[in-house]
Structure 1
Amino acid sequence: MAVDMVRLLELASWRAFDVDEAGRVLAGSDESGSTQLVELSPNGRVTALTALSGAVTGRYLPGERAAIIQHDTGGNERGQLSLMRLDRRRTRPAELGDLQPLVRDPRYVHRLLDVLPGRLVYSTNRRNGVDFDVVIRSAVTGEEIVVYDGGGMVQEVVASPDSHYLALTLPGAQPMSDRILLVDTMPATADERFRPLTGLGEHTRSTHIRWLPDDSGLIVSTNADRDRTGVARLDARTGQRTWLVTSEEHDLLGWLSPDGRTLLVQTNEDGAARLALHDARTGELRRSVPLPGDGWCSFPLPAPVWSPDSRLIALSFSSPEVPGDVLVIDAEQEAPPITMTDSAAALAGERLATPTAHRVPGAEVPCFVYEPAEPTGSSVLMIHGGPEGQSVRTFNPVVQGLAAQGHTVLVPNVRGSTGYGKSWYSADDGRKRLDSVQDLAALHEWLPQLGLDPARSALWGGSYGGYMVLAGLAFQPRRWAAGVDIVGISSLVTFLENTSPYRRAHREREYGSLADDADFLREASPLTHVDEISAPLFVIHGANDPRVPLSEAEQLAEAVRRNGVECELLVFDDEGHGLAKRSNRLNAYPRALAFLTRHLI
C-alpha cells in the first residue's frame, strides 16, 4: 500500500553546512520539526547542538572548536548571529540564552557570508534598512570594520587567503545578472578601495566565487558570453577570463578546494546532478564521483563545502527516494561518497512514484511526470518558485502524497527556469511575464496524450509558483479545476509596493519597475482579473513573510469570496515565506490534499 501523507511529512532530512579536517560535519536536521544544528562524527555519533525557535544554519570557526550560528524568529528572515563553543560538555542542545551573542538587532537582517580564523564576515542592512553593508567582525573582541558600504543587495562574499581582498557579487542591471567587485581592505587611497571585475550591464551570472591561494584570481561559475554556465578562472588584476570546464549541453557549477588544486564540478543533466573532480589549473577531468542514484546535491542550499585541508567535501543530497542525506567525498580516494545519514530507511519497502523526463510538444517545456501506481486520470501541476529556480529530482513529500492518492503529478520547468541555459531563464523577463503562463496552457493541452482527463487538473505552487497558480486560474479559467497557492503573489503592483524595501529594487529587475511598467504589472496581475477566477482555491501564507506580504493572500481571498468562489485561507502566525515547521506542514498539507481530492476525484 502507498505511504500516507502524514508519514511522508514526518520524515526527517539532513543537510551539510560545513566539514572540518577531522571529518566532523556541521549539519542541519529537521528531526525536531524545524532545521536545527547537529554535529555528525566520522564514527557515526550524532550530537544535537541547538534547540532554537526558528531554523538555524552555521559554519565552523576555522582553527577552533566553535561555530558561528545564524538564526531568525518565526521565519522573518532577520538573521541574528551567535557563537557556540563546541569544546564544552553539554547535557542538552543549546537554547538562545546559552549562545554568546555576536550580532543581534531584530530590526535588521544580518547574513553570515564567510568565516576566517577568529573572525566572521557578514552583511547587514542596519544602515538604512535597504542597502547591505559588509562587515568583518572579530569573534573575540567584537571589533568591527565596515569593508563595503556601496549599496545594493550583496549576495556572495569571499575573503582572499591573506584577508587583503574581498570579492563580492552584487546584482547587475539586467535580470538574473551579477557583477563581481573587488574590495581592498587596506587601500593606499580611497579611490583604490573598490575595483569592478565585471561590468554593470553584462547579462551574466557569476556565482560560487572562490579565491586562488595566491590571490592572483578567482574561480567562478559563469555564463559570460555563453548560453550555458561553465567554470572559469578570472584574473584579479585584469578581469581576463580563462575557461576551465564547459559544456554546450548542460549548465555546470564548480567549487574550488582551499589549496587551489581541485575543482568539484556539478553537471546539471535535466535536474539530475553528476559530479566529477577536475584539475583546477588545467580543467582536466580526474575522476567521476558516483552518487547513490538520479538525484540532486545541495537541495536547495547550502552548496558543497571543502574541509580546510582540501581532503573532504561535504554535500547535501536528495533523490525522489531519499528525503535528504549528508554525503562526504574523500577527494584523495577512488571511492564513492560516504553516506553519514540514512533518511530513506523509514521508507524501506514503500511504493514511491519516480519521475520520467519529458519535453512538452510544441512548447518544449521540460517536465517531470510522477505516475501513481493506481492512476485516477486526475493530475496536479506543481510549479516551482523563483522564478529563477529549477525543479530538480529530489524528494518532495507533497508530490509523493498526491501520487499516493492517485493523482499524476507534472513538475515542469516553465520559461524563466534555471538549469537550461540563459536563453530559457530569460524568456519571461519583464513584459514577457505572461509567456511563462502560456506554458501552463501547453501543459494542459498535453494531458490527453498522457491519458489524463483535462477537466480534472489542478495547479499547485509556492511563492512565484503561487503567482503562476493564480495567473493560470485568472487567465485560463476554463482549464483548471482547482488551485493551491502557497505564499503567492496576487498583484505584482501591490507586491512591489509592500515587499521589504531591501527586496524591491532587486525584484524590479525581474518583473519590471513601478515607475516604468505599472500598466503592464497591473495587467499581468491575477487580482486585476479576479472576476475570471471560478475554480476553488486553497491559500496558505505565513504572517511574518518578508518577501510576499500576507496582504497578497488576504486581498485575493477577499476578492474571490466576494464573487462566491470557494477559497480557504490558512495563516500561520509563526511562519514566514513558506512553512518551515513540521507541525504547520502537518496541519496545512493534508488539508490541501483533501481539498484537491474533493475537487478532482
Structure 2
Amino acid sequence: MIVAPYGSWSTPITSELLLSAAVQLREVRVDGTDVVWAEGRPAEGGRTQLVRLDAAGNRTDLLPDGFNARTGVHEYGGGAWWVRDGVAWFVNWADQRLYRLEPGGEPQALTGEPAVPRGDRWADGEISPDGEWIVCVREQHAAEGGAAAVRNEVVRLAAHAPSKPEVLAAGADFASSPRLSPDGRTLAYVRWNHPSMPWDDTELVRLDLGSGAETVVAGGSGESVGEPRWTEDGQLLFLSDRTDWWNLYRAEPDGTVTPVVEIDAEIGWPAWMFGAARYAVLADGTVVFARVRGGYDGLALRLTNGQIVDLDLPFSIYSDLRVEGPSSVVVVAGSPTSEQIVARIDLADGKPALTELRAPRDLGLDPALISQPEHVSFPSRGVDGSARTAHALYYPPTNPAFEAPAGERPPLLVVIHGGPTAAAIPVLQLGLQFWTSRGFAVVDVNYGGSTGYGRPYRELLKDAWGVIDVEDCLAAARWLAESGRADPDRLCIRGGSAGGFTTLAALVREDTPFAAGADHFGVSDLAALAAETHKFESRYLDGLVGPYPEAAEIYRERSPITHVEKFRKPLIVLQGSEDAVVPPAQSEVIVDALRARGVPVAYLLFEGEQHGFRRAENIRRAVESELSFYAQVFGFDLPTEEGIDPVLIENLAG
C-alpha cells in the first residue's frame, strides 16, 4: 500500500471515465411488448436520445441525428416524449416544436413555427384512449414582457397530423399532469398560482370535457397534490402531503378522498420536472410504490387487502415506475454501488424477480474503490438559535491502494444539492467517487428544506434561504471535523445553482470554517435573480426570502454580493453562457468583485451551456479545473499520468 497525502491519490476514476460511454437515464415508457427509455448522452453534445428495446432483445435508437428529445417548459423540462403502438411523439430541443415519428420514418412536425423562435413549448403529453388526440401542457412565450407574459395551458391537438391546438384549461399560472380517464370523457390535471411552487399549494382538478365543468378534487392552501393517475376501472389516484408526507389517495365520485397508502415516508417528489411516476397500479389493483425513509428509497406494495409489504431489492433510488403486463413494472433504479439502470421487476409470485433491461456500463472498477454513503444526523440550529437535527450522506475517503501519512485527516468537500427543494440521493455517482478515491471525504447535505423528511422539514427553509441551509452546511463540516473525520483546516464547500448560492453565502460568514469553495452557476444577487429569472421560479423567492420589493432589505442582506468585503477564501466559479435560470451576470458580478479585492479566484465560462453542463468536453474541463484549484490552494500534487491542465487562479500568492 502506498503512503501519500490525502487528495493526491491516483485513481482509475478520472474525468475520462466519468464520460466514457456515460449516459443519464431519465424516463422510461412501456409500449406493448417494447420498453422505451431516454438517455442523456454527453458524448453527443448532451442530447437526449430515445431507445427502444423490443421483446426479442433488439435495441434501437429512435431519433435521427440532429434531433434531441428535450422540452424547455419551466426551463427544467421533463415529459418531453411519449409513445404508443410503435409511434413516438417528442419535443425537439432546437425549435421546441412537437414531432411525430413512425417506425423507420422521419420526424414530422405536428406544430408550426411559432411567432417567437422556440416560443411555443410542449410537455407532459398523453394520447387519448381512442388514439386520435394528444393532451399536453403548452407554454407560450411572447416577444416582449418577459416572465410576466408567459402563458401556461392544457391543450388538445390531433395526434397524427398538424392541427390547431384547442385550449382545455387556462387561467392558472401553471398546469401539469393532464391525464384522461379511460373513457376519454374526463380530464384530471394539477394547477397552481404564484407565488406558490408545486410543492407548496396546488389543486387537483377534474374537468368534464363535454360540459366544460370543473371540480376541485383536492389540494389548496397548505397542501401539495400531484401525479394524478386513472386506474383501468376509472378510479382517480393522486399524491398529497395532507398528512405532512406525500402519500397516496383516491378521489371518490361523491367528492370525498380515501387514503390508499398513509405512511411516515415520502412517496412523492418535488415537481421540478414533468412526467414523474412514483407509483403504478397492477391489473389486480396492487399498487407498487417507491418511498423515501431515512435518506434511502425503497419499493413497496400495497396489496388489495390494504397490507403494505416492503420489497427486498438491491436499490436505493427509484423513478419512473411503469406497468408492464399484468404483474410487473419497469423502473429506473440505482444503488450506492451501481449507476442507474432500467430494470423489470416481476411480482407474479409475490417475490420480486429482477431483470436488467439497460445495464450499467462496465466500469472495470474494484468494488473496494467505491465509497459507500452513511446516512448521518447531526446537531444544528434553527433560525432562532434553538437546537434541531439536520441530515446528510457521508462518504469516507476510499482507495485500497493508498493510505495517508499517520495522523493526517482528509480534506472535506461539503456538497450542496440544487433546488433548494431537492435532496442528496444514495446512488453511485462517479462525480462523487472522483473525489473520495483521491482521498477527499465528502458529505452531501440534506439541509433543512430538503425533500425526504416530510413537509415540516421541507418548510424549514421558508423565509430562511441563506440561513438554515448555510447553518446546516457549517454544522456538518464542524461536526465531522470535531469527530476526527475531516481536517478542520481543509474544509471546502461546493454547490450548483441554489447550492452555489449556499456556497457563496457560507463563504461570507464571519465564522465560516471553510478554506475554499466552488460555485457552479450559483446566485450571488437575490434581487437580480428575482428580476431576471424565468416564470416558473420568478416568485419562488417569495417563500424562501420574502416578497420583492417589499422585502428588498432582506434580499440585500442575504445576497453574497452585498458582503463581498467578507470574502477571504479562494473561490472557483463555473458558468454556462446560455443559462436562463441563473444568468452569467450572477457569476460575473461576484468574480469581478473578488478580482478587485485581490481574493484568489478562478472563473470558467462554458460557451453554449445552459443550467448544468451537458457537453462531454465541458464536464471534463469543469471537474479537472476544480481538482486543480484545490490542489493549488492546499499544496498537494496531482497524478501526472492524467495530464490535468492547471486552472488559472488569479491573485493566488506563491
The residue number in structure 2 matching 1:385 is: 418
- In structure 2, the residue matched to 1:136 is 156
Whole-Å separation in 2 of the counterparts to 1:199 and 1:398: 38
Flag structure 1 segments of 5+ consecutive residues without an equivalent: 90-97
| Secondary structure at the counterpart of residue 202 of structure 2 | strand
Distance (whole Å) between structure 2 residues aligned to residue 4 and residue 532 of structure 1: 36
Aligned equivalent of 1:435: 468
User: Is 2:160 aligned against 1:151?
Assistant: no
After TM superposition, the structure 1 = structure 2 runs for residues 144-293 of structure 1, keeping only pairs within 5 Å, are: 144-171=165-192, 174=196, 176-188=199-211, 193-201=213-221, 203-215=222-234, 217-224=235-242, 226-238=243-255, 240-248=256-264, 250-253=265-268, 254-257=278-281, 259=283, 261-279=285-303, 282-285=305-308, 288-293=310-315
1:154 is paired with a residue whose SS is strand
| Alignment partners' CA distance in 1, 2:352 and 2:474 | 46
Aligned residue for 1:316? 332
Bigger mean CA deviation after superposition, 29-38 or 405-414: 29-38
The residue aligned with 1:370 is 395
Structure 2: distance between partners of 1:118 and 1:323: 38
1:296, distance to aligned residue in structure 2 (A): 0.8
* Paired amino acid for 2:475: A
Deviations 1:131-154 (A, max 9, x none): 301111112233321101113122
Q: Which residue of 1 aligns with 2:108?
A: 100
Partner Cα separation in structure 2 for residue 151 and residue 289 of structure 1:
40
Partner of 2:353: 336
CA–CA distance in structure 2, aligned partners of residues 109 and 526 of structure 1: 36
**Deviation of 1:272 (Å):** 1.9
In structure 2, relative to structure 1, the CA distance for the partners of 1:501 and 1:29 (3 Å cut) is closer
User: Corresponding residue for 1:409?
Assistant: 442
Task: Give the TM-score, by structure 1 length.
Answer: 0.88
Whole-Å separation in 2 of the counterparts to 1:393 and 1:3: 21
SS of the counterpart of 2:137?
strand
What is residue 275 of structure 2 aligned with on the other side? none
> Is the Cα–Cα contact under 8 Å of residues 464 and 544 in structure 2 kept in the other structure?
no
- Native 8 Å contact 2:414 2:492 kept in 1: yes
User: How many angstroms does 1:282 deviate by?
Assistant: 4.7
Alignment match, 2:597 = 563
Paired residues of 1:17 and 1:28 also in contact (CA < 8 A): no
Kept in 1, the 8 Å contact 2:334–2:427? The answer is yes
1:475-511 CA-to-partner distances (Å, cap 9, x unmatched) read 2464211111112111111001001245313553444
Give the whole-Å Cα distance in 2 for the aligned partners of 1:517 and 1:258.
50
CA deviations over 1:448-500 (Å, ceiling 9, x no partner): 21332112011111111111111111124642111111121111110010012
Letter of the 2:132 partner, please give it: G
- Write out aligned runs for 1:2-41 (5 A): 2-6=11-15, 7-13=17-23, 14-28=25-39, 30=41, 32-33=43-44, 34=46, 35-41=48-54
Distance of aligned partners of 1:177 and 1:527 in 2 relative to their CA distance in 1, 3 Å threshold: same
Q: Structure 2: where are the runs of 5+ without partners? A: 1-9, 71-78, 143-148, 269-277, 381-387, 637-654
Task: Give the counterpart of 2:132 among 102, 113, 118.
Answer: 118
Q: Which residue of 1 aligns with 2:97?
A: 80
AA partner of residue 289 (structure 2): V
Query: What residue identity is the alignment partner of 2:610?
Result: G
Equivalent pair of 2:39/2:50 in contact (CA under 8 Å)? yes
* Residue 533 of structure 1, aligned match among 567, 574, 577: 567
Compute the displacement of 1:581 (Å). Answer: 2.1
Shift of 1:208: 1.9
**Whole-angstrom distance in 2 between the partners of 1:372 and 1:11:** 25
Distance apart, 1:270 and its partner CA: 2.4
Q: CA deviation at 1:436?
A: 2.1
Q: Which moved more, 1:371-380 or 1:502-511?
A: 502-511
Aligned to 2:89: 68
Task: State the shift of 1:29 in Å.
Answer: 5.0
Q: What's the offset of the Cα at 1:563?
A: 1.1
Question: 1:349-370 CA deviation, whole Å, 9 max, x = no partner?
Answer: 2511111111113542111111
Rate the CA distance shift 1:596–1:464 in 2: closer, same or farther, 3 A: same
Indicate conservation of the 8 Å contact 1:378/1:453, yes or no. Answer: yes
Would the alpha carbon gap of residues 53 and 174 (structure 1) be closer, same or farther in structure 2, given more than 3 Å must change? Answer: closer
- Measured in 2, the distance between the counterparts of 1:537 and 1:432 equals 21
2:321 matched to 1:304? yes
1-side partners of 2:68 and 2:606: how far apart?
14
TM-score, L = length of structure 2: 0.81
Amino acid of the structure 1 residue aligned with 2:185: H
State how far apart, in whole Å, the 2-side matches of 1:28 and 1:432 are.
33
Verify: 1:399 aligned to 2:432, yes or no: yes
Alignment match of 1:360 (pick from 378, 381, 390): 378
Counterpart code for 1:17? V
Alignment deviations for residues 400-452 of structure 1 (CA, whole Å, 9 cap, x no partner): 11112211001110010010011111001124641221112211221221332
Between the two proteins, the alignment pairs up a number of residues equal to 571
Q: Which amino acid aligns with 1:118?
A: E
**Which residue is 2:542 aligned to?**
508
- SS of residue matched to 2:633: helix
- How large is the RMSD of aligned CA atoms in angstroms? 2.5
1:335 offset after TM fit, Å? 3.4
* Superposition deviation, residue 555 in structure 1: 1.3
Structure 1 residues 313, 297: closer, same or farther in 2, change over 3 A? same
Deviation at 1:18, TM superposition (A): 0.7
Q: Which amino acid aligns with 2:417?
A: H
Match of 1:95 in 2: none
Do the aligned residues in 1 keep the contact of 2:82 with 2:125 (CA within 8 Å)? no
| TM-superposed deviation, 1:269 | 2.3
Q: Which residue of 2 aligns with 1:94?
A: none
Identity in percent? 23
Deviation string for 1:250-306 (max 9, x for gaps)? 223452327572311112122322112223x55333x5444334x2112xxxx3222
Distance of 1:52 and 1:487 partners within structure 2: 27
Secondary structure in structure 1 of the residue aligned to 2:109: strand
